[in-house]
Amino acid sequence: MFGTAVEDYLKAIYDLSHTRERVALSAVAERRGVSLPAATKMVRRLGELKLVLYERRGGVELTGGGRKVALEMIRHHRLIELYLKEALGYSWDLVDEEADRLEHVISEEFEDRIDALLGYPTRDPHGAPIPTKDGEIDLTQHPALAELELGRPARVARVHDHDPEMLRYLGELGLYPDARVELIAKEPFGGPLRLRIDGQERMVGEELARHVFISRLEAR
């Protein structure tokens, strides 16, 4: 409705707003891979469209209308990712790029058909929540795998999905959503974690473990 560039900016601002109320224009420019003047020009346009509130020194935040558009695009994206994996056999490291292209062009009817075909899912292949058609989304914050304690079992809730190479490696380790994980030992000074992942012992670097998020379980 607003065009690909507008929708991509709104998604970027929504993602960045998870950690701050107002988003710095420099952060928006970095996320979009553009210069600060280019980001400023687009944000001013979004302001004219009543999709964001922008103050030169205060940063930018979505209006209700801007948030609605962002969540609609996120819903399209995550439903398409799941459809590509479940119906077309794509691996989980390839679906993000395809969904980026397709999210802007599908109709609401097509969205509804995908949703029904997949059984009205609530999570995408990487464990991220799928917004409802009414624009509601699960905002539960999950701790990183790097914060797992000894003797406290957990399940993988979601993983960061923007690096295909990292996703392929996580898949080799078995760190998919719903995998059961237990910390066996952790080397000091930022060293690797020795984990039991669905019964298999694996070594996982601390940096990588900060890109995997967990739901803690009660110890047996």
Last residue of a domain, one of 139, 167, 195: 139
Helix 64-86 and helix 108-117, axial crossing angle in degrees, nearest 10: 50
pLDDT score at 57: 79
| DSSP code, position 130 | P
Last residue of a domain, one of 94, 111, 139: 139
Look up the pTM and report it.
Answer: 0.90
pLDDT score at 7: 95
Last residue of a domain, one of 109, 139, 169: 139
Coil, strand or helix at 206: helix
153 and 201 share a domain? yes
pLDDT score at 191: 85
Domain of 123, in residue numbers: 71-139
> Tell me, what CATH number does 202's domain have?
2.30.30.90
Count of beta carbons in the 10 Å neighbourhood of residue 203: 13
Query: pLDDT at residue 60 above 60?
Result: yes
Query: pLDDT at residue 19 above 90?
Result: no
Whole-number Cα distances in Å, 24 to 52, 64, 187 = 13, 19, 37
CA–CA distance, 47 with 176 (Å, rounded to integer): 39
> Tell me, what CATH number does 33's domain have?
1.10.10.10
Query: pLDDT at residue 20 above 80?
Result: no
Q: Mean pLDDT over residues 55-67, rounded?
A: 90
- Which pLDDT band, with edges at 50, 70 and 90, does 1 fall under? low
pLDDT score at 18: 78
Whole-number Cα distances in Å, 59 to 18, 38, 51, 66, 115 = 14, 15, 14, 15, 36
Question: What amino acid is encoded at 87 in this protein?
Answer: A
